Amino acid sequence: MTTLQATFCGQTYDNPFMNASGVHCMTTAELDELANSAAGSFVTKSATADSREGNPEPRYINLALGSINSMGLPNLGLAYYLADAIKRQTETPDVPFIMSVASYKGFDEYVDNMRQIQDSDYTGLVELNLSCPNVPGKPQMAYDFEDTARLLIEIFSFYTKPFGVKLPPYFDIQHFDKIAAVLNQFDLKFVNCINSIGNGLYIDEATDTVVIKPKGGFGGIGGEYVKPTALANVRALKQRLNPSIEIIGTGGILTGRDAYEHLLCGASMLQVGTQLQKEGPAVFDRLNAELRHILETKGYTSIAEFKGKLATLD
Ligand code: SIN
């Protein structure tokens, strides 16, 4: 009997599929839809201290091979997601999920947000988003290795609950080495690879213009465009991180085959962004069916039998 059960941070999930933060997770109503879908778990929209409208529209455009976005962290504020998370934790304790937390202003806001969660009744997983490329004038925290180390030292000085970090894509072997060396100093529970490929540019063939308004058209690229980069980041970090740090694979998961490849590279959970935006939560029924079919065709009965076992040619 084939099972798609996934184990992640000490919990068992029916399957490894989740939304990627930002898609279908702004309100409690959307989160409820995910909780009631065929996804194994879900993550909230990245919360900043205060609620935010985000960047001017148009700010998210679907493309033939993926998407471009510069949302600018629109969200209902940390208090909203924290209250929702505590309620879920109490009412449906057997449905684990992840709370995503970001910062609009930088270092101090990250710390303040984590302090607020530490002081709350929420005890579940947090995904600290160190990689939003869409805040005008602000860099992606995790591209600065020293600042990332400094931030994690500060947070670990008071934070005692389980959390992981969402990373931007890295493109150089030395950068894989450097970020892994930073993250291995801490008792992180997971990393999520990857956020969108930041600051891409898409030009509309009919109008010769950019397609999104913020930042002169520069935005994060997701979907089919990013799968090889996502797989490389999952694989490279799996090879470098302490075995206790699990990986969420995100980027370019359109089909069961894409999911299978992320798992081969070592991912434990799988987040779907662009394709969820295009298809809605029914995407999880399709992905589960396609992944199950691959396991059955290959004679596997569980994900554990092939997870992380990508073969090389040497
Ligand atoms: C956004 O709100 O701009 C997207 C969030 C992210 O890329 O982390």
Q: 67 C-alpha to center of ligand 1: Å?
A: 13
Give the Å distances, CA to CA, from 160 to 186, 221, 222: 12, 34, 33
Q: Give me the helix-helix angle, 145-156 and 173-183, nearest 10°.
A: 20
Is the minimum distance from the CB of 55 to ligand 1 under 6 angstroms?
Answer: no
Q: Which of 46, 68, 212 has most ligand 1 atoms within 8 Å of CB, for mutation? A: 46
Strands, E assignment, the chain: 6-8, 11-13, 17-19, 60-63, 66-69, 98-101, 125-129, 163-167, 190-193, 197-201, 203-204, 209-210, 218-222, 246-250, 269-272
Nearest to 148 by CA among 119, 116, 110, 174: 110
- Which pLDDT does position 126 carry in this prediction? 99
- Rounded to whole angstroms, the Cα distance separating 112 from 32 reads 27
Determine, yes or no, domain membership for 212. Answer: no
Determine, yes or no, domain membership for 273. Answer: yes
In which residue are the tokens 């309620």 written? 87
- Rounded to whole angstroms, the Cα distance separating 276 from 173 reads 31
> Contact at 8 Å (CB) between 21 and 43?
yes
- Active centre residues (catalytic): 132
**144-173 mean pLDDT:** 99
Is the minimum distance from the CB of 214 to ligand 1 under 6 angstroms?
Answer: no
- Rounded to whole angstroms, the Cα distance separating 128 from 167 reads 9
Beta bridge partners of 29: none
> Contact at 8 Å (CB) between 163 and 123?
no
3-class DSSP state of 246:
strand
* Number of domains comprising the chain: 1
Determine, yes or no, domain membership for 310. Answer: no
- Rounded to whole angstroms, the Cα distance separating 85 from 70 reads 26
Dihedral, CA atoms, 140, 162, 53, 201, nearest 10 degrees?
A: 30
Q: 235 C-alpha to center of ligand 1: Å?
A: 23
CATH number of the domain within which 140 lies: 3.20.20.70
All residues at 6 or more sequence positions from 74 whose CB lies less than 8 Å from its CB, including other chains: 26, 45, 52, 53, 54, 55
Q: 294 C-alpha to center of ligand 1: Å?
A: 32
Determine, yes or no, domain membership for 171. Answer: yes
- Which pLDDT does position 150 carry in this prediction? 98
Nearest atom in ligand 1 to the alpha carbon of residue 70 is: 3
**220-228 mean pLDDT:** 99
Q: 312 C-alpha to center of ligand 1: Å?
A: 34
- Rounded to whole angstroms, the Cα distance separating 21 from 130 reads 13
**172-177 mean pLDDT:** 98
Confidence of residue 270 (pLDDT cuts 50, 70, 90): very high
Question: pLDDT tens digits, residue range 10-66?
Answer: 999 999 999 999 999 999 999 999 999 999 999 999 999 999 999 999 999 999 999
Is the minimum distance from the CB of 129 to ligand 1 under 6 angstroms?
Answer: yes
Determine, yes or no, domain membership for 289. Answer: yes
Question: pLDDT tens digits, residue range 63-85?
Answer: 999 999 999 999 999 999 999 99
| Rounded (to 5) percent helix, strand, coil in the chain | 35, 20, 45
Question: pLDDT tens digits, residue range 188-214?
Answer: 999 999 999 999 999 999 999 999 999
**172-182 mean pLDDT:** 99
Determine, yes or no, domain membership for 130. Answer: yes
Determine, yes or no, domain membership for 215. Answer: no
Nearest atom in ligand 1 to the alpha carbon of residue 131 is: 8
Nearest atom in ligand 1 to the alpha carbon of residue 134 is: 3
What is the span of the domain harbouring residue 138?
Answer: 6-54+73-196+225-305
- Rounded to whole angstroms, the Cα distance separating 288 from 192 reads 20
Determine, yes or no, domain membership for 111. Answer: yes
